[in-house]
Amino acid sequence: MAGSALRRLIAEYKQLTNNPPDGILAGPISDENFFEWEALITGPSGTPFEFGVFVTRLHFPSDYPLSPPKMKFVSEIFHPNVYPDGRVCISILHAPGDDPMGYETSAERWSPVQSIEKILLSVVSLLAEPNEASPANVDAAKMFRENREKFDEMAKRSVRKTLGL
C-alpha cells in the first residue's frame, strides 16, 4: 500500500511544482520521506491574515489517498478552525464516510479524489471565511462572532509573528 501512496505523492508533488497555486508552496521536508510535507501558505488578501506566511506540516498515512493526511500549523495562528496546538479542523481532512455527529455529509469529508492542492486551497478559503458553526478554537470563534475588531487584532498579531516582527 505504501508503494501506491508514494507514487501518488510523487505525482502530486510534480503537479504542485509545475503549476503551483498562488500563495502556496508545498513539498516533502526531505527526499528520504515523501510522507512528511511542509507547506507555506500566504494569508489571503483582504483578510486579517493578509501578508502572513504560515508554515504548516502535513503527515500522510501509508494508505494515502484512501485516508486523509493530518495537517498542523507550525506558525502560531489564532483562528476558529485551528486548535490551539495548530491542528487544522476542516471537513476535507475528516475520515471518509458518514459523520458520527451528523454535522457533515460524506461528500464534504475526505475521499481519494481529493488532492494536496485541494486541501491547501481549502485551508486558504478557511482563513478567509472561518466556519463558526464547527470551531476547534472556541475562544477564537466567540471573538470572531462577538468582537470582530479584537479578532482581527489577534489575527494580525499572528501575521506579525510569521514575519518575525
List residues bridging with 71 in a β-sheet: 58
Q: What is the pLDDT of residues 135-164, one digit of tens each?
A: 999 999 999 999 999 999 999 999 999 988
The yes-or-no verdict on residue 1 having pLDDT over 60 is no
Q: Are 136 and 83 in contact (CB under 8 A)?
A: yes
Q: From the centroid of its chain, how far is CA 45? A: 17
Is the pLDDT at 97 greater than 90? The verdict is no
Catalytic residue among 88, 89, 136, 143: 89
How high is the pLDDT of residue 18?
A: 95
23 is a catalytic site residue: no
User: Which one of 3.90.45.10, 3.40.50.12780, 3.10.110.10, 3.20.20.190 gives the CATH number of domain 4-163?
Assistant: 3.10.110.10
The amino acid sitting at 28 is P
pLDDT digits (tens, 9 = 90+) for 4-40: 999 999 999 999 999 999 999 999 999 899 999 999 9
Nearest to 125 by CA among 38, 11, 10, 46: 46
More confident position, 16 or 108: 16
Looking at residue 123, what is its pLDDT?
97
Residue 43 DSSP class: P
The mean per-residue pLDDT over the stretch 70-88 comes to: 97
State the pLDDT at residue 106: 76
- Within 8 A by CB and 6+ apart from 144, the residues are 80, 130, 132, 151
pLDDT bucket at 47, cuts 50 / 70 / 90: very high
* Three-class secondary structure of residue 103 per DSSP: coil
Q: What is the pLDDT of residues 109-138, one digit of tens each?
A: 899 999 999 999 999 999 999 998 889 999
Q: What confidence tier does 102 reach under pLDDT thresholds 50, 70, 90?
A: low
Closest CA to 69 of 105, 116, 104: 116
91, 104 contact by CB (below 8 A)? yes
Q: For 162, list phi and psi in degrees, rounded to 5.
A: -65, -25
Q: What percent of the chain has pLDDT over 70?
A: 96
